[in-house]
Amino acid sequence: MYLLFMKRRVGFIELKQLLGLTPGNLDHHIRKLEESSLIRSRRILSWRPLVVVEITQSGAEIFRKYIFKLKSLLADIPDRLLQE
């Protein structure tokens, strides 16, 4: 989700390489995120078939809210707990 949030659209092969996943594993994750309407994938026909994965508008908004919530939670961690 982070990669799609930052780039908005990524090719399947590039996404697979960036995440270090097998095609089957990535496809499984994509299907689950599509079922939740967070992302969508589509086939583009150029000189070779290409699958592009992109974040949806609602997916971007949900992820943005998640980032703000996570930042808030992390800000509440006392400094003494972060020292070694």
Instruction: Give 62's contacts (C-beta < 8 A, 6+ positions apart).
Output: 38
DSSP 1: -
The CATH number of the domain holding residue 31 is 1.10.10.10
Evaluate whether residue 21 is within a structural domain: yes
Looking at residue 21, its pLDDT comes to 96
Contact between residue 58 and residue 8 where contact means Cβ atoms under 8 Å apart: no
Evaluate whether residue 61 is within a structural domain: yes
Residue 32 belongs to what domain range? 2-75
Evaluate whether residue 80 is within a structural domain: no
Contact between residue 26 and residue 15 where contact means Cβ atoms under 8 Å apart: yes
For residue range 16-51, list pLDDT tens digits in order: 999 999 999 999 999 999 999 999 999 988 777 789
Number of folded domains that form the chain:
1
Q: How far apart are CA 70 and CA 11, in angstroms?
A: 28
Average pLDDT along the chain: 93
